[in-house]
Amino acid sequence: MNCIGTSRALSHSVGLKRGDKAVRIEKDSQGGITTIRLIGHFQSEHVGELKKQLQDEGPRFVLDLTELTLVDVDVARFLGICEAGGVEIINCCPYIREWMKQERKV
């Protein structure tokens, strides 16, 4: 897995649903840096869409997890890989941060 792709300026929101749980990916580009916000219950089946969004943005982006409420192990691993690859992750709640750290050790 990786997080980097080609660059393109864009600002929009993608909503995904799984049962009664929803997740949203919002993007905002300013000054050559794109902030990608993950909102809701983010599960492994959403990683493909996130990869697509990240590839569209190139290497200068930030993942904002302020409104991320729940993840599964695949998402924790993916976020850890992104961070290890140089992606800045901001506003990450302590349990997700610890899980990412533990998964990097595996």
Domain boundaries, the chain: 13-101
Topology at the third CATH level for domain 13-101: Transcription Regulator spoIIAA (3.30.750)
Which of the four pLDDT bands, split at 50, 70 and 90, describes residue 29? confident
Q: Are 23 and 38 in contact (CB under 8 A)?
A: yes
Angle at 81 between CA 20 and CA 49, to 5 degrees: 40
Over residues 10-15, mean pLDDT: 47
Over residues 54-73, mean pLDDT: 86
Q: Which of the pair, 35 or 9, is modelled with greater confidence?
A: 35
State the chain's mean pLDDT as an integer.
Answer: 81
The per-residue b/e assignment along 48-76, b for 16 or more CB within 10 angstroms, e otherwise, is eebbebbebbeeebbbbbeebeebbebbb
**DSSP 8-state assignment for residue 32:** T
pLDDT at residue 4 in the model:
38
In whole angstroms, what is the distance from residue 79 CA to residue 30 CA? 22
